[in-house]
Structure 1
């Protein structure tokens, strides 16, 4: 059970245990979101959605979100859609089942591996300034990485390093179960990976590994001489106006985190505090909301954070992450959707699932956050995308 509580993306976690009907019987939508010229305003301003109008589109998007949490039997979810002059901020279900507190559009969720895009962006910023080369061996900056002389920073960012995924280590999972409140250092997490054989020689294949982005976080700190959380704020969060995002376990929390859940033996279990957030750090420790995530990916892919050369590096894919992801670049997945090719990332961490993508040619940004680790956020992204595709 602890393996599923810690990182539910592991094979076999929770998929066979549906939440009880009774536990979810009181779940209904909080329709406090809106779609208009300003986020959440509910006004009809803006013409980016076409003939249907912003208000009409908001109704359809909210209905799709309501239907999705019913179909997946989720406690709750929040979603954001930006399209032209229209901005939808919606929510459905419960932020806390025990207190029957509804999810609000601006509520905070654990974002999981969406963190990886933020960290890759920092690395590419340092590269643009000449602080590092993507072809540098990681041992130049981080000690204790097996084969670090042969593994390049590029291979860390695009998951071709071959490093064993520490979240699949039985020793790590046993230690987390023994002491859920334990605060982890990045070096300790890398050591769990180093104790296992690599998947393959560097550059020979593609294998997603959270260890890569723990190493990436240490590289950022080694090159900059500053804590990664400081650079997140000064280089990304503050310039992009992301005031609801923080790296959990590395800085004070921002109020507003909803409760996260898993389903075990037909019952909902609150897994919000199952493991200390330091266990995810720069591989998946961000907390955010749909407003911030949509803004981040739009800003990033429109060239507001990186120059053309770095953005080209980031969007150049090397391998398939899953059946629905065509390619994985440097902390960024290229994925097909009903509104065309999108770039972004998904995430899965105890109690939460996330997905945020931007269709560059369509100019459509979509983010979905779920407070149940068995939820399918990408499926809801597609549900909302189909609404945008309608005439």
Structure 2
């Protein structure tokens, strides 16, 4: 099969000079250094508290890096985050780390470059394609209840999908459908930027993708496509009979205690979204709401915090939200030779890191990049959110991973 880059996101590739990497946007830098204001906190629910928490470690939970206690680890993690913002010349970043009995939230840089407002650890960011894991989780919940089968044809739920009668729900969720990615079309970005307030319907986005030939026959390759998850959103709505925003809140956000997360465009926004930026000719450009959130929809419209995303992946992967059979399906990997990401499951990436294998997802969307991973065997979670389109979040995840393993 032809290897295509994993454009995990919804980003204008022609209008701004963002660096587009294969998987984790490696090698990208942003504009001039921003003033740094750092805060470290450990309470996922308290967006203003400062400190580091030492919790009772569960059975088999590893200690922090040899010789490092939680307080020392907090200082080292904050230093690594400060350095990353400085080296990459990012407007700002927030991060969360959980390792055994230690939990830390930190921030560096600014949420608004004009007002010089410091980012706080609990600020909201657009999460981009991390949305996909949430949608896949909903599909697997419905599968557990017998309301859909992963082997069902897409045409049983959604019309207008090219070869929908030959494509399975599973192939939509693991990007082996061959369906063309609408975000690869210049005409989509031109239309979206010409009318930033335009509300896009899923049918319109699918029709854009249908105007191009599929990448390959269903099941005969891997090609990361945002169109797959626009379709997935419609599948879960059809199978459940509920709007995706309501379903997500009732089945995932509230049960998991994700109080600072919402699907933009599908429900009322929460206050606290930081400003997101792109670059044009070396200058930062405000991109926070450059396009209506409906252009991302179930493929990338989620807004969240580092604390909520860290909590979400732990609750998915520890069996709180999904049963053993569903987790087995979610982690049935197909080859995805895309840099650090070596496998893709159902809305879930497998990534190689200094901590070993991590599972989670990355995201990119106008003004923001994101990464949230859990090294299950090490009980180590790392989430990084950056308010720049093209920030190298993967490098920051590795920088923080190195802190956790360095003696």
Q: Which runs of 5+ in 1 are unaligned?
A: none
- Match among 145, 157, 163 for residue 161 of structure 2: 145
Pairing 1:28–2:39 present: no
Pairing 1:279–2:288 present: no
After superposition, what is the alpha-carbon deviation per residue over 1:99-123, rounded to whole angstroms, capped at 9, x for unaligned? 0000000000000000000000000
Deviation, 1:19, is 4.3
Deviation, 1:41, is 5.0
Structure 1 segment 249-328 matched on structure 2, within 5 A: 249-320=265-336, 322-328=338-344
Contact preservation (8 Å) 1:78, 1:290: yes
- Match among 51, 54, 61 for residue 42 of structure 1: 51
Aligned to 1:214: 230
Pairing 1:333–2:349 present: yes
Q: How many residues align?
A: 385
Deviation, 1:321, is 5.3
In the aligned structure 2, how far is the partner of 1:208 from the partner of 1:347? 12
- Match among 203, 206, 214 for residue 198 of structure 1: 214
SS of the aligned residue for 1:345 comes to strand
SS of the aligned residue for 2:309 comes to helix
Aligned to 2:19: 15
Q: Which moved more, 1:263-272 or 1:171-180?
A: 171-180
After superposition, what is the alpha-carbon deviation per residue over 1:318-360, rounded to whole angstroms, capped at 9, x for unaligned? 1215111110010000111111111000000000000000000
Contact preservation (8 Å) 1:35, 1:44: yes
Aligned to 1:128: 144
| Compared CA separation, residues 221 and 274, structure 1 to 2 (3 A) | same
Contact preservation (8 Å) 2:17, 2:281: no
In the aligned structure 2, how far is the partner of 1:149 from the partner of 1:362? 42
Aligned to 1:361: 377
In the aligned structure 2, how far is the partner of 1:211 from the partner of 1:36? 36
In the aligned structure 2, how far is the partner of 1:253 from the partner of 1:244? 10
| Compared CA separation, residues 8 and 174, structure 1 to 2 (3 A) | closer
Deviation, 1:390, is 1.9
Aligned to 2:114: 98
Aligned to 2:130: 114
Greater RCO structure (CA 8 Å; 6+ sep): 2
Deviation, 1:273, is 1.4
Aligned to 1:78: 94
In the aligned structure 2, how far is the partner of 1:190 from the partner of 1:197? 12
The structure richer in helix per residue is: 1
In the aligned structure 2, how far is the partner of 1:63 from the partner of 1:134? 45
Deviating above 2 A after TM superposition, structure 1's stretches of 4 or more consecutive aligned residues are 8-13, 15-21, 34-41, 43-51
SS of the aligned residue for 1:52 comes to coil
- What TM-score does the superposition give when structure 1 sets the normalisation length? 0.94
Aligned to 2:3: none
In the aligned structure 2, how far is the partner of 1:243 from the partner of 1:36? 13
Contact preservation (8 Å) 1:246, 1:288: yes
Deviation, 1:13, is 4.5
| Compared CA separation, residues 288 and 9, structure 1 to 2 (3 A) | farther
- What TM-score does the superposition give when structure 2 sets the normalisation length? 0.90
Alpha-carbon RMSD = 2.2
In the aligned structure 2, how far is the partner of 1:271 from the partner of 1:308? 40
Deviation, 1:152, is 0.3
After superposition, what is the alpha-carbon deviation per residue over 1:43-90, rounded to whole angstroms, capped at 9, x for unaligned? 563474263111100000000000001111100000000111211000
Aligned to 2:23: none
Aligned to 1:188: 204
